[in-house]
Structure 1
Amino acid sequence: MSNDALTMRGPVSGTKDARKVAIGSGVGAVIETYDFIGFGTAAALYFGTAFFPGGDPVTGTLAAFATLGVGFAARPIGGIIGGHLGDKLGRKPVLVASLILMGLATFAIGLLPTYQTAGIIAPILLVLVRIVQGLAFGAEWGGAILMSYEHAPWKQKGKYTSIVQAGFPVGLLLANLVFLASGSLGGDWAWRVPFLASIVLVAVGLIIRAKVPESPVFEDVKEHGQIVKNPIIEVIKTDWRNIVRGIGLRIAETAGYAVSITYMISYLHTTELADKSETLIGLVVASGIGIFATMAWGRLTDRVGRRPVYIWSCLFAMLYGIPMFLLVNTGLFPLIIATMVISYAICQNSLAGAQGAWFPELFNANTRSSGASLAYQISAMVAGFTPFVTTLLFIGMGWVGPALLFSFYAAIGLWAALITRETWGKRERQLADEATTADVAHRAVSTEGSSAARHSHAARRADASEHTDATRVTPTSHEGVS
């Protein structure tokens, strides 16, 4: 059978650095998520009054969510830049540069003046820094996920990329733990400390990422002279359908998260169904479970394929929109936590776990970074302004509006999954089994050959040594007889 269906996926059995690369990429994802998602928590709980004060708290929340959306709007631009550089210069440089940019922007948020001290300058500075965050976050994902994917074994792409995807719930967990702890500080320090503390994580991340080797697939593309002059233009021209499909797939996950988590924080707070501490505790529990859920979903896609996981998860989310709000509307804290766990661990983590391997497999190796980044980040614009739109829907329709919007996003994801080809179906898994068996056998033969060669070489050296010793003794003995 031909292996054409598995071309340019990297070494059959992966590289010796596969695990180190996945963990290094995942650590970066943790840090960037901590920085980027932490902004969402702060926008829901603090920024409305700190940067957009007014008599109506809903108006302040709308303004804060609009600022949140600006960062998401900048992500496609970051994705374009990062994707282009990833296909031209390599995956690793993009990883390092995006982490530095994100770290500096996030640290700067912790130093910003509030509206009370600087007036209109304060929200303007917040928007500018948020744009920088969006550019950095948009550039980061493509490099991180492709490094992990292209180093991983064929049969475990879902497993290794899910380590990177699990970096997002880890970052969410850390951000909410820090916000939970800093809440006791009171005043502006309650939101400043989490952003200032991020500089420590960035330093650790840079040390780890500096040791990550470049992608073997990119090295092959470079060696064979297949680097495309304008990868963004090329992938749009030749593969725009997969970009559109990827956008649809991603909307169900990222925009769904914007309703069920980002907006839900504000909903629980403004309707007094839960206080800030209870809301953050719910998020901590959900994100903690989400770490393991994401990796479990990724491994499941290695066994059954990417598409089935996506289809069933989107179908569940479609039916979950109304019950999700009915559960939290009870005001019962255990049900609120359970709702957040279901929303995150099932509706969001299952899709994120599948995306890590599915998105890279939809595009050719020499335009993979550009194509995957575009599909992933363009959808972020929809997600970024979703909390703003959801707040407007709540004003006009009550909780039913946000619930229906959540189900609508899931329907988009289901449609996209149905029209997107399976890249890890039964045929691909069978081919990978055959290739892996052949690779293991080849490695065994090579190892035996190397061992035999070493023994032969050692024997020759021993013979040569004996011969040398003999030649050294003979003249000495001859001189003695004489």
Structure 2
Amino acid sequence: MSRSQTASSQPRDKAAKVSFASMIGSAVESYDFFIYGTAAAGWFGQVFFHTTEPIIGILAAFATMAVGFFMRPLGGYLAGHFGDRLGRKTVLLWSLLAMGGATVLIGALPTYEQAGLLAPVLLILLRMIQGIGFGAEWGGAVLMACEHAPAHRRGFFGAVPQIGIPLGLLMANGAFLLSGALLQGEWVWRAPFLASVLMVAVGMYIRLGVSESPEFEKAKADNTLVKQPALQVIRSDWRKILQIAGLRLAETGGYYIATSFMLSYVLLAGVAAKENVLWGTMIGSALGLGSHLMYGALSDRIGRKPVFLLGSLFTIVFGIPMFMMINSGVVVLIVVAVAMALLLSHDPIFAVEASWFTEQFPANVRSSGISLGYNCASLVAGALPFIATALFAKVGWMGPAVLFSLLGVVSTLCALKMRETAPAVAKQPTAIERTAVVASQAL
């Protein structure tokens, strides 16, 4: 190998190492966050809330789940500020510790029968800490990957940390299936939370071994860092922050309707056991380990926007068919419906968010810009399982089905207004963009 070939391979090797480290940490934090959603749908309504009505208990559990989402913008603000002031790596380390510590403590909480009102109060406090930690995680993880990557490969390397989300969900659902098969009573839900201590230790070890973002180091060397980056980006780019939040609704909102809400829906509607939804989620997550890389690489070739629109347009058309498949009660159709919602609705959108959002802001306020935009969507997404449950109680399954599709409409409209950033893509609109424009005009 020539000296020039060796030199050119070094940035790719470093980008691969950093992306892998970011992915592992994201998987650990995603596991911690998602086991709460599974536990809230299947156990917490009875364990922490004193009620004889199943739907009331589930609504209360989803309300505490939403608290974590409501705290994520605070985590995003803190991560953005310190990520742009002190560095991306520092934020990644403290966010992992905050998330992991809160998760382990949830596994050790007393139940309502044991401690009365103190039990749900402690649950809510720990969920708030989870939300702050998870809100701080994403921006630092994807920036480390994207800012170490060559510009023409940001779509691919930026998609690597995104794999941590389906991997974390895969581990979370697998943990509940395994604990359900091996354990009994309270240990079925406690064991997955307590097991987090081992994964956090692994994540910390891997993240300590990576270097700081070169683009942050350059901004620091050039003396272009600002004192209040989060406040500055809010003042100068608040429209873009809201636009990013709108872009995320189909991805994050649709995700929680198709997974967390669906776990409770199949029980409330009496159509199937929750394990069928878990298997669909696991299969979709397993496929997502490859699909995210495929979509990310594709965005380097044809652009971020066309790949995103593949997912947002599918979200629009799949809402009612998804619930019809679930309502059939046929196990295969239930599994396929949930897996399709992840593979074709969530994954194309989520795969390109890292590179697309990163490329919208300059390096000295980039952590703040993407963290705030990403986590502002949580203010809506966190309430969607609660809203979907309330809609089902009021109007039946058509309510959450239409809600799922409307999320796709919002994200599609936002995507059409967002500028393309992939270096290799011409400025002319692609066929899928032209189709989306026609569809949006018809709406």
Larger Rg: 1
Q: Is residue 91 of structure 1 aligned with residue 69 of structure 2?
A: no
Find out whether 1:29 has 2:5 as its counterpart: no
The Cα shift of 1:251 comes to 1.2
SS in 2 for 1:417: helix
Match of 1:128 in 2: 125
CA distance in 1 between partners of 2:213 and 2:264 (Å): 41
Please say which of residues 349-358 and 264-273 is displaced more in the overlay. 264-273
CA shift at 1:357, angstroms?
Answer: 0.5
Q: CA deviation at 1:254?
A: 0.5
How far apart are residue 158 of structure 1 and its match?
1.0
Residues 87-136 of structure 1: CA deviation (Å, up to 9, x unaligned): 00000000011101111100000000000110010000000000000000
Aligned residue in 2 for 1:285: 283
CA distance in 2, matches of 1:338, 1:427: 34
Task: Report what 2:369 is aligned to.
Answer: 371
Please say if residues 12 and 154 of structure 1, whose CA atoms lie closer than 8 Å, have aligned partners that are also in contact: no
The equivalent residue for 1:114 is: 111
Query: Residue 186 of structure 1 is aligned with which of 184, 197, 202?
Result: 184
Q: Which residue of 2 aligns with 1:60?
A: 57
Can you list the C-alpha shifts for 1:442-467, whole angstroms capped at 9, x where unaligned?
xxxxxxxxxxxxxxxxxxxxxxxxxx
Q: TM-score, normalised by structure 2?
A: 0.92
Residue 232 of structure 2 is matched in structure 1 by 234
Residue of structure 1 equivalent to 2:158? 161
Q: Does 1:20 align with 2:17?
A: yes
For 2:341, give the aligned amino acid.
Answer: S
Partner of residue 467, structure 1: none
Q: Which runs of at least 4 in structure 1 moved beyond 4 Å after TM superposition?
A: 425-429
Q: How does 1:456-467 map to 2 (within 5 A)?
A: none
Q: Please state how far the C-alpha of 1:14 moved relative to its aligned partner.
A: 3.5
2:308/2:348 contact within 8 Å kept: yes
Task: State the match for 1:437 in structure 2.
Answer: none
Could you report, residue by residue, the CA deviation over 1:11-56 in whole angstroms, capped at 9, with x for unpaired residues? 9984642111000000000000000011000000000000013111
Question: Do the aligned residues in 1 keep the contact of 2:310 with 2:348 (CA within 8 Å)?
Answer: no
- Aligned-residue offset at 1:382: 0.8
The structural deviation recorded for 1:380 is 1.0
Q: Distance in 1 between matches of 2:164 and 2:24?
A: 6
Contact 1:14 1:154 in 2 (8 A): no
Map Cα deviations across residues 244-284 of structure 1 (whole Å, 9 max, x no partner). Answer: 11011011110111212111111112223221333322221
Structure 1 residue aligned with 2:218: 220
Q: Which of the residues 301, 323, 330 maps onto 1:332?
A: 330
State the alpha-carbon separation in 1 of the partners of residues 284 and 18 from structure 2: 26
Give the alignment partner of residue 72 of structure 1, picking from 69, 73, 97. 69
Quick one: which amino acid aligns to residue 34 of structure 2? I
8 Å contact 1:251–1:383 — kept in the other structure? yes
Q: Which secondary structure state, in structure 1, belongs to the residue aligned with residue 195 of structure 2? A: helix
Aligned equivalent of 1:468: none
The amino acid across from 1:183 in the alignment is G
Whether the 8 Å contact between 2:295 and 2:352 is mirrored in structure 1 is yes
Contact 2:152 2:422 in 1 (8 A): no
Choose which of 155, 170, 173 in structure 2 pairs with 1:173. Answer: 170
Mark the runs of 5 or more structure 2 residues left unpaired by the alignment. Answer: 1-7, 428-443
The residue identity in structure 2 corresponding to 1:268 is V
* Cα offsets for 1:184-206 (capped at 9, x unmatched): 31211110000000100000000
Tell whether the 8 Å contact from 1:294 to 1:349 is kept in structure 2 after alignment: yes
Measure, in 1, the Cα distance between the counterparts of 2:415 and 2:11: 28
Structure 1-normalised TM-score? 0.85
Work out which of the residue numbers 303, 306, 313 in structure 1 matches 2:304.
306
Counterpart selection for 2:405 from 389, 407, 410? 407
Look up the match of 1:395: 393
Q: 1 CA distance for matches of 2:174 and 2:384?
A: 24
Task: Find the aligned partners of 1:426 and 1:157 in 2 and give their Cα distance.
Answer: 11
| Distance (Å, rounded) in 1 between the aligned partners of 2:274 and 2:311 | 30
Answer yes or no: is the 8 Å Cα contact 2:302–2:425 preserved in 1: no
- State the distance in 2 between where 1:82 and 1:279 align: 34
**By how many angstroms is 1:213 displaced?**
0.3
Contact 1:12 1:153 survives alignment (8 Å): no
Structure 1 residue 418 displacement after superposition: 0.5
1:349 is aligned, of 347, 363, 383, to 347
Structure 1: give runs of 5+ residues left out of the alignment.
Answer: 1-10, 430-482
Residue 364 of structure 1 deviates from its aligned partner by 1.1
Contact 2:104 2:197 in 1 (8 A): yes
* Aligned-partner residue type, residue 322 of structure 2: M
* Residue number in structure 2 paired with 1:6: none
Residue 361 (1) aligns with residue 378 (2)? no
Across the two proteins, how many residue pairs are aligned to each other? 419
| 3-state SS of 1:17 partner | helix
